[in-house]
């Protein structure tokens, strides 16, 4: 009788062990898959891909593993990563054909408007390669990623992947003349993606304006420390929000203030879809010296020197 009980106990223990092992097997079995990681090409004018092998134990994990691989950057040193390697992948959530990606704040450290487009596009294109994923939303520390317009980007479909996605555009930037009594135009070629919005084009133009003139006879009008926080277009009015550096780093003076204002307004009104420009600093009316710019300003042809 004792032997039978012992035998039954042994059988029961074995069944429990076998049952436990069968439950763990799916988690212990790793699957390997080759995926395409999207990066920028050498001059950040187009998307390029690099094959990479990932290993994961269950379907949901493959999204996180792929993103972590993307953040590590390309093996090809000629490719541009555009995503800070300090970026952490907090997790992903799949909702039917949509994927929500939660990243750390380091992702938001872009090297300019084009770099931002390529960085965001690299995440979206990489994740939409998976069967059943048609749209991607990026969260930063749990909050929706904000675009140049100051509005959430929301769910995004795959960015254009064809060759020649970059386009060159001739723009005119206005800088101060040597006497600081007029602004003079300087033409420049900028590269943007065909997928960019009008707000993103204006953001790129303002970044070029902040870099300063190439002509030694012209002078910069915006301190190099200034950042463009966002640009929004509302019924032909470009609403530009600058960082606090516009107030704290500006050299001041009535002439300096005039050159900055006319430089920005005349540069942005070169675009036919902009008739006026409203300038703010951290959401407040810009006030460098004497003028408090509460209202939008139109183009000032009288301040343009030929």
Residues 108 and 196 grouped into a single domain: no
Q: Is residue 284 part of a domain?
A: yes
Q: What is the DSSP string of 190-257?
A: EEEETT--HHHHHHHHHHHHHH--SSTTSB--S-TT--EEEEEEETTEEEEEE-THHHHS---SHHHH
Q: Which of 259, 250, 262 is nearest to 288 (CA)?
A: 250
Residues 121 and 191 grouped into a single domain: no
The reported pLDDT for the residue numbered 16 is 52
Q: Is residue 1 part of a domain?
A: no
Q: Is residue 7 part of a domain?
A: no
Residue 144 tokens read as: 């929706």
Q: Is residue 245 part of a domain?
A: yes
The reported pLDDT for the residue numbered 6 is 54
The reported pLDDT for the residue numbered 43 is 84
Q: Pseudo-torsion of CA 41, 45, 47, 51, nearest 10°?
A: 0
The reported pLDDT for the residue numbered 11 is 60
Handedness of CA 190, 159, 126, 83 (dihedral sign): positive
**How many other CB atoms are there within 10 angstroms of residue 50's CB atom?**
16
Q: Is residue 91 part of a domain?
A: yes
Residues 185 and 289 grouped into a single domain: yes
| Cβ 251 vs Cβ 226: under 8 Å | no
Residues 297 and 170 grouped into a single domain: yes
Residues 38 and 103 grouped into a single domain: yes
Give the pLDDT of the chain (306 residues) as one tens digit per residue: 545 555 555 565 555 555 554 454 555 578 899 999 999 998 888 899 999 999 988 777 899 999 999 999 999 999 999 999 999 999 999 999 999 999 999 999 887 777 888 999 999 999 999 999 999 999 999 999 998 777 899 999 988 654 345 677 889 999 999 999 999 999 998 877 666 789 989 999 999 999 999 999 999 999 999 999 999 999 999 999 999 999 999 999 999 999 999 999 999 999 999 999 999 999 999 999 989 999 999 999 999 998
Q: Is residue 149 part of a domain?
A: no
Residues 291 and 223 grouped into a single domain: yes
Residues 124 and 195 grouped into a single domain: no
Q: Print the domain residue range for 213.
A: 166-305
What are the Cα distances from residue 27, in Å, to 63, 68, 256? 16, 20, 65
Q: Is residue 156 part of a domain?
A: no
Question: Which of 144, 174, 198 is the last residue in one of the domains?
Answer: 144
Residues 180 and 110 grouped into a single domain: no
Residues 275 and 193 grouped into a single domain: yes
Residues 228 and 290 grouped into a single domain: yes
The reported pLDDT for the residue numbered 117 is 87
**How many other CB atoms are there within 10 angstroms of residue 278's CB atom?**
19
Q: Phi, psi (5° rounding) for residue 13? A: -60, -45
User: What is this structure's pTM?
Assistant: 0.62
**Backbone Cα Rg of the chain:** 27
Residue 222 tokens read as: 């915006």
Residues 210 and 269 grouped into a single domain: yes
What CATH number did the domain enclosing 138 receive? 3.30.300
Residue 40 tokens read as: 């920028």
Q: Is residue 5 part of a domain?
A: no
Residues 285 and 220 grouped into a single domain: yes
Count: domains in the chain: 2
């Amino acid at each position: 009788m004792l032997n039978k009980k012992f035998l039954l106990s042994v059988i029961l223990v074995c069944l429990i062990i076998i049952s436990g092992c069968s439950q763990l097997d799916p988690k212990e079995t790793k699957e390997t898959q080759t995926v395409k990681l999207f990066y920028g090409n050498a001059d950040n004018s187009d998307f390029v891909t690099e094959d990479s092998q990932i290993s994961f134990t269950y379907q949901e994990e493959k999204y996180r593993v792929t993103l972590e691989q993307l953040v590590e950057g390309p093996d090809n040193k000629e490719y541009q990563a555009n995503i800070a390697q300090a970026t952490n992948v907090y997790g992903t959530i799949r909702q039917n054909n949509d994927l929500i990606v939660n990243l750390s704040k380091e992702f938001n450290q872009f090297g300019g408007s084009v770099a931002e487009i390529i960085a965001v596009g690299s995440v979206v294109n990489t994740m939409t390669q998976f069967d059943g994923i048609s749209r991607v939303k990026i969260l930063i520390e749990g909050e929706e990623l904000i675009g140049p317009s100051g509005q959430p980007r929301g769910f995004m479909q795959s960015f254009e992947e064809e060759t020649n996605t970059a386009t060159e555009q001739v723009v005119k930037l206005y800088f101060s003349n040597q006497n600081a009594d007029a602004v003079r135009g300087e033409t420049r070629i900028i590269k943007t993606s065909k997928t960019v919005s009008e707000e993103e084009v204006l953001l790129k133009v303002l970044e070029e304006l902040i870099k300063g003139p190439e002509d030694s006879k012209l002078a910069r009008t915006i301190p190099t420390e200034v950042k463009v926080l966002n640009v929004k277009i509302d019924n032909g009015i470009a609403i530009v929000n600058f960082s606090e550096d516009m107030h704290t780093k500006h050299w001041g003076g009535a002439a300096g203030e005039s050159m900055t204002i006319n430089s920005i307004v005349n540069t942005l009104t070169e675009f036919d879809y902009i008739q006026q420009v409203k300038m703010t600093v951290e959401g407040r009316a810009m006030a460098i010296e004497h003028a408090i710019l509460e209202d939008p300003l139109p183009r000032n042809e009288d301040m343009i020197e030929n």
